[in-house]
């Protein structure tokens, strides 16, 4: 389970199926695994970094994560790598869905919508940070007010922030009813969290109620003579 949750073990072992000169060929799909891993890790770090808007004082751990994320010190304010990686990985996953005919055939609107929503959240955050400046002090005052159940809307917050907030709120509302719940569902997968020794041990659910069974031996004892008359072979004469 640890390998599945932190390193996407099943996706790492996934194979790519293609038609090559009329023959079906299989190959490694490491690019998909890497993009999926980068997408999820970047998204998680972005969420952790944003806790600084909801906590006062800001814990040292969050400040350290923020410093490590922007260690390249490109531009002012400094470039945060996870934001760029989130957009890049999400863009690749979206491109794969529309470019790969096999994946496109099985894709539904429920596959595109959350992906585009997350990319929109990341892009609006990047626009706020590097292009259209917003008053960070006012943003934190707003978020602290929401957390403390005493909301207030300070002046000086740009429109782009409310677009960003709207997309985040949409994601939070959509999350429990979508495929994004695989985040919790992976822990409930019987193929990963149950022992695979059913050939050695008979597993019986403790909540199963007693069932009256009619074995073949009892069935034959009950209908042996009629089976003989009908020409049906029996185990006991």
| Tens-digit pLDDT profile for residues 172-203 | 999 999 999 988 888 888 877 788 888 888 88
Q: Which of 94, 111, 114 is nearest to 173 (CA)?
A: 114
What percent of the chain is predicted at pLDDT more than 70? Answer: 100
Return d(Cα 161, Cα 134) in angstroms, integer.
7
Contact partners, residue 163, CB within 8 Å, separation at least 6: 124
Please count the CA atoms within 13 angstroms of the CA of 223 that sit on its side-chain side: 11
Helix (H, G, I), strand (E, B) or coil at 138: helix
Predicted pLDDT at 220? 92
The answer to whether 124 and 87 have CB atoms below 8 angstroms apart is: no
Helix (H, G, I), strand (E, B) or coil at 131: coil
pLDDT at 73 over 80: no
pLDDT at 74 over 80: no
pLDDT at 204 over 90: no
Task: For the chain, list the domains and their CATH numbers.
Answer: 2-193 (1.20.950.20)
Q: Copy the structure tokens of residue 219.
A: 């069935």
The answer to whether 136 and 50 have CB atoms below 8 angstroms apart is: no
The answer to whether 146 and 155 have CB atoms below 8 angstroms apart is: no
* Lowest-confidence segment of 78-87, 149-158, 162-171 by average pLDDT: 149-158
pLDDT at 105 over 90: yes
Predicted pLDDT at 162? 93
Q: Which of 230, 206, 210 is nearest to 220 (CA)?
A: 230
Helix (H, G, I), strand (E, B) or coil at 99: helix
Percentage helix, strand, coil, to 5, in the chain?
Answer: 65, 5, 30
Contact partners, residue 12, CB within 8 Å, separation at least 6: 30, 33
Q: Which of 87, 60, 192 is nearest to 68 (CA)?
A: 60
Return d(Cα 107, Cα 120) in angstroms, integer.
20
Residue-wise pLDDT for 10-45, tens only, equals 899 888 887 788 888 888 889 999 999 999 999 999
Return d(Cα 97, Cα 93) in angstroms, integer.
6
Confidence band (pLDDT; 50, 70, 90) for 154?
confident
């Amino acid at each position: 389970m640890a390998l599945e949750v932190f390193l996407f073990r099943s996706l790492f072992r996934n194979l790519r199926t293609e038609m090559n000169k009329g023959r079906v060929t299989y190959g490694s799909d490491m690019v998909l695994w890497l993009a999926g891993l980068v997408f999820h890790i970047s998204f998680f770090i972005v969420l952790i970094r944003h806790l600084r808007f909801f906590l006062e004082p800001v814990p040292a751990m969050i400040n350290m994560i923020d410093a490590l994320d922007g260690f390249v010190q490109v531009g002012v304010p400094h470039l945060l790598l996870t934001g760029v990686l989130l957009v890049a990985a999400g863009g690749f996953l979206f491109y794969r869905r529309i470019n790969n005919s096999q994946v496109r055939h099985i894709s539904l609107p429920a596959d595109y919508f959350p992906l585009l929503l997350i990319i929109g959240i990341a892009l609006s955050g990047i626009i706020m940070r590097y292009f259209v400046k917003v008053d960070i002090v006012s943003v934190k005052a707003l978020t602290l007010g929401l957390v403390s159940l005493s909301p207030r809307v300070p002046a000086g917050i740009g429109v782009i922030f409310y677009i960003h907030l709207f997309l985040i709120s949409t994601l939070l509302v959509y999350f429990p009813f979508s495929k994004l719940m695989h985040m919790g569902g992976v822990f409930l997968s019987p193929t990963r969290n149950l022992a695979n020794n059913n050939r050695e041990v008979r597993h019986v659910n403790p909540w199963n109620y007693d069932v009256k069974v009619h074995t073949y031996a009892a069935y034959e004892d009950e209908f042996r003579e009629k089976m003989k008359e009908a020409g049906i072979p029996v185990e006991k004469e």
